[in-house]
Structure 1
Amino acid sequence: MSSLPALTPKKITAIGLTLVFGALGGGAFVYLTMPLPWMIGALVVTTAAAMGGVPLKGPGRLRNIMIGVLGIMLGSSFTPDALANVDQWAGSLSALLAFIIAVVAINAFYLVRIGGFDPVTAYFAASPGGLATMVTLGAEMGGDERSIGLVHSIRIMLTVLIIPFWFRFFEGYVPGSATTGAVTDIAGQDLMILALCALGYPVARLLKLPAAPLLGPMLFSVGVHLSGLTAAKPPSEIVNLAQVVIGTGIGCRFVGISARHVMGLMVIAAGSTLFMLALAAGAALGLEAATGLEFRALWLAFSPGGLAEMTLISLAMGIDTAFVSTHHLFRVLFMIAAAPVVFALIRKRIT
């Protein structure tokens, strides 16, 4: 089992500076009443600082902890009421499979023909699985690791920026309308139960589950909430901190990359992202008409953001978090399992 690199005073200082930038960005976006202010403000400011040459460092260990908080928050949304229509999810999950296949095929073709990517790099850059997994698999198969990572990072960043602003200015979403209670509003016993859900992380690592920092605490949280042990959610202070940490994590992916050097790739990735978002919106409209499920939840469920990021958006906006997160988890697990198998089958044809 791999371990994270040791923390040196220099790294600690860089992480501290990163979190200061993130907090300042989040605070500014709160003041401006922007959507998802703590995450998007942190993302925008740290991305700008990173590409401007500021020596930032992603909060790796703290990010895992905050992803765990998000998992606990996510698990708290799996209530009997939230699962009342779970029988309707089979159709949308099946449609998601077809959607993923179409997205990968069309995106890979676009990245080869328009972006000039080699077929291996295009395939793994077009596959909407976990960023780290697709980068690792792509590098092992001979793809350009840096290009794969940047395309996924730009896709996640743009999706996180576009969707909340769409809901803010076209759907009337009011920032702060779906917050959780403060830490002082939660009983000590409930706080203890929520804290114990964090044990799901080491258990998930022991079982070698994918997305262990999120999935382990989430499954523990689902258990305690469905069993009726608690109805509490993590306090707003910790959820806001999680947003800052996750936002800075996205921004720090651009450390060492100047805007001048990445501009061409950013334009290519932006075209890919806009296509995926438009296709997701079209699929959501069709499924809404066919199943009666809500367009907003369907669009979030099919959009090409990261699992953690899209879950945060659904939580902040009060949009059927259980539904959205289940679809993104299904997508990630499917891509982790299917991407290398499909690549092995088509490798001789595309290389």
Structure 2
Amino acid sequence: MLASFTPPSRAHLLCLVIGAAGGFVFYLLHMPLPWMLGAMAFTTLAAVSGVRIALMPRVRMVFVAVLGIMLGSQFSPAILDHVAMWLVSFLWLGLYVVIATWAVRWFYVKIARYDPVTAYFAAAPGGLSEMILAGSAFGGDEARISLAHGARILVAVFALSFGYRWFGGYAPGGAPMLGTTAPLATIDIFWLALAGFAGYFVARLIRLPAHALVGPMFLSAALHLAGVTESKPPQEVVVIAQVVIGSMIGARFTGLAFGLVLRGILLAVGATALLLGLAAAFGLAVAWSAGLPFASTLLAFAPGGLAEMSLIALALGIDAAYVSSHHVVRIFMIIVAAPLVFRLLGGRRSG
């Protein structure tokens, strides 16, 4: 294992330094979710300015797993009382995925003038890596699909973070701290570490999507639901995880032409506005039919990434277990159904 270790390059170190600087600046400015948003903003600007930055996959996996452990700690036995309401919400989610995909596909075909294959896989709201691979296999434009998903997450995170602050009254000062500041007992460190390592490797072995986050989250949730531990990862580690996740988003734009990125972000503003409108409509429907808070249902249906939307929920004190569960289910729906539906509807390779 040590023999295969690759030391970080200048691009890897620079990415983390820029991300940490951005997070610190946003923290000083009292921005919402400062460590992730600041890292995301600074690394995105660096990437589109031509700075060569990258993030080591192993570093990313470690801190994504930390977030998974943190999310799992939000599950408690009391959640079992709400399972019936969650099932109603999951049914609405399935309908949302279908309508949202076709609405955004129309947007990318008619407005962006993308070919049908690229438009379809750029529109499917979830599973970034999987949609890039599937879209490429069918002959879609890999760069445009990647940019569409990366820019969607970028726009959605900023829009929702500031939207909840400006219109929802979620002030940073009133939000709960992420992670624990109390010293962890040795046994709790053991259980949290077990959730991270075992969850990661088991999820990877059975090929779960987003395995670095989903596996630790599931095992951490099981330990917390069973009452084995009530502990959370240390606050400092969660802050670093936010910097890494934010930097990861910005680093995706490295090597892309400025004009391509700018157009992609502008298109993502339109696509994300459409998705947020649909998410709000479905969020209201779920809030009405299942008796759940609209602040939670909107974030559960919002068109951002699993890690990013879950972090927003944690930072705002919104039911993170509910939000993260819906994004996990959405990703499963998209990954399983999108290529299959494309074939059933007579989809052909582009070109």
Q: Which stretch has the larger CA shift, 248-257 or 191-200?
A: 191-200
Counterpart in 1 of 2:58? Answer: 61
Q: Secondary structure at the match of 1:128?
A: coil
CA distance in 1, matches of 2:66, 2:179: 14
Alpha-carbon shift at residue 7 of structure 1 (Å): 6.6
Counterpart in 2 of 1:116? Answer: 113
Per the alignment, do residues 48 and 61 of structure 1 end up closer, same or farther by CA in structure 2, a change over 3 Å counting?
same
Counterpart in 2 of 1:179? Answer: 177
Pick from 13, 27, 48: which aligns with 2:10?
Answer: 13
Per the alignment, do residues 51 and 325 of structure 1 end up closer, same or farther by CA in structure 2, a change over 3 Å counting?
same
Is residue 2:151 matched to residue 1:154? yes
User: Which AA in structure 1 matches 2:145?
Assistant: I
Counterpart in 2 of 1:89? Answer: 86
1:60-112 superposed Cα distances (whole Å, 9 cap, x missing partner)? 21111111111111111110123321210111110111111001111111111
Per the alignment, do residues 180 and 189 of structure 1 end up closer, same or farther by CA in structure 2, a change over 3 Å counting?
farther
Q: Secondary structure at the match of 1:185?
A: coil
User: Which AA in structure 1 matches 2:189?
Assistant: L
Counterpart in 1 of 2:186? Answer: 188
Q: Secondary structure at the match of 2:80?
A: coil
Counterpart in 1 of 2:242? Answer: 243
CA distance in 1, matches of 2:178, 2:171: 15
Counterpart in 2 of 1:218? Answer: 217
Alpha-carbon shift at residue 8 of structure 1 (Å): 5.3
Is residue 2:102 matched to residue 1:105? yes
CA distance in 2, matches of 1:298, 1:350: 36
Is residue 2:75 matched to residue 1:78? yes
CA distance in 2, matches of 1:350, 1:142: 5
CA distance in 2, matches of 1:201, 1:349: 35
CA distance in 2, matches of 1:120, 1:28: 41
Matches within 5 A, 1:44-59: 44-59=41-56
Per the alignment, do residues 279 and 258 of structure 1 end up closer, same or farther by CA in structure 2, a change over 3 Å counting?
same
Q: Secondary structure at the match of 2:243?
A: helix
User: Which AA in structure 2 matches 1:322?
Assistant: A
Q: Which stretch has the larger CA shift, 282-291 or 327-336?
A: 282-291
- Contact between 2:139 and 2:349, CA under 8 Å: does it hold in 1? no
Alpha-carbon shift at residue 219 of structure 1 (Å): 1.7
Alpha-carbon shift at residue 258 of structure 1 (Å): 3.8
Q: Which stretch has the larger CA shift, 181-190 or 119-128?
A: 181-190
Per the alignment, do residues 304 and 181 of structure 1 end up closer, same or farther by CA in structure 2, a change over 3 Å counting?
closer
CA distance in 1, matches of 2:319, 2:170: 15
User: Which AA in structure 2 matches 1:46?
Assistant: T
Aligned residues: 346
Per the alignment, do residues 200 and 279 of structure 1 end up closer, same or farther by CA in structure 2, a change over 3 Å counting?
same
Counterpart in 2 of 1:230? Answer: 229
Counterpart in 1 of 2:327? Answer: 328
User: Which AA in structure 1 matches 2:190?
Assistant: M
- Contact between 1:59 and 1:249, CA under 8 Å: does it hold in 2? no
- Contact between 2:24 and 2:35, CA under 8 Å: does it hold in 1? yes
Per the alignment, do residues 337 and 265 of structure 1 end up closer, same or farther by CA in structure 2, a change over 3 Å counting?
same
CA distance in 2, matches of 1:278, 1:16: 38
Q: Secondary structure at the match of 1:143?
A: coil
- Contact between 2:70 and 2:179, CA under 8 Å: does it hold in 1? no
Pick from 159, 167, 170: which aligns with 1:170?
Answer: 167
User: Which AA in structure 1 matches 2:65?
Assistant: G
- Contact between 2:122 and 2:146, CA under 8 Å: does it hold in 1? yes
Alpha-carbon shift at residue 59 of structure 1 (Å): 3.1
CA distance in 1, matches of 2:126, 2:179: 33
Alpha-carbon shift at residue 183 of structure 1 (Å): 5.0
Alpha-carbon shift at residue 182 of structure 1 (Å): 4.3
User: Which AA in structure 2 matches 1:194?
Assistant: L
Unaligned runs of 5+ in 1: none
Pick from 126, 130, 133: which aligns with 2:130?
Answer: 133
Counterpart in 2 of 1:145? Answer: 142
Is residue 2:277 matched to residue 1:278? yes
- Contact between 2:118 and 2:144, CA under 8 Å: does it hold in 1? yes
CA distance in 2, matches of 1:18, 1:155: 21
Pick from 34, 38, 44: which aligns with 1:37?
Answer: 34
Alpha-carbon shift at residue 193 of structure 1 (Å): 1.4
Alpha-carbon shift at residue 12 of structure 1 (Å): 2.3
Q: Which stretch has the larger CA shift, 147-156 or 162-171?
A: 162-171
- Contact between 1:119 and 1:350, CA under 8 Å: does it hold in 2? no
Q: Secondary structure at the match of 1:256?
A: coil
Counterpart in 2 of 1:310? Answer: 309
- Contact between 2:19 and 2:38, CA under 8 Å: does it hold in 1? yes
User: Which AA in structure 2 matches 1:16?
Assistant: L
Unaligned runs of 5+ in 2: none
CA-atom RMSD in angstroms? 1.8
TM-score (norm 1): 0.94
- Contact between 1:75 and 1:222, CA under 8 Å: does it hold in 2? yes
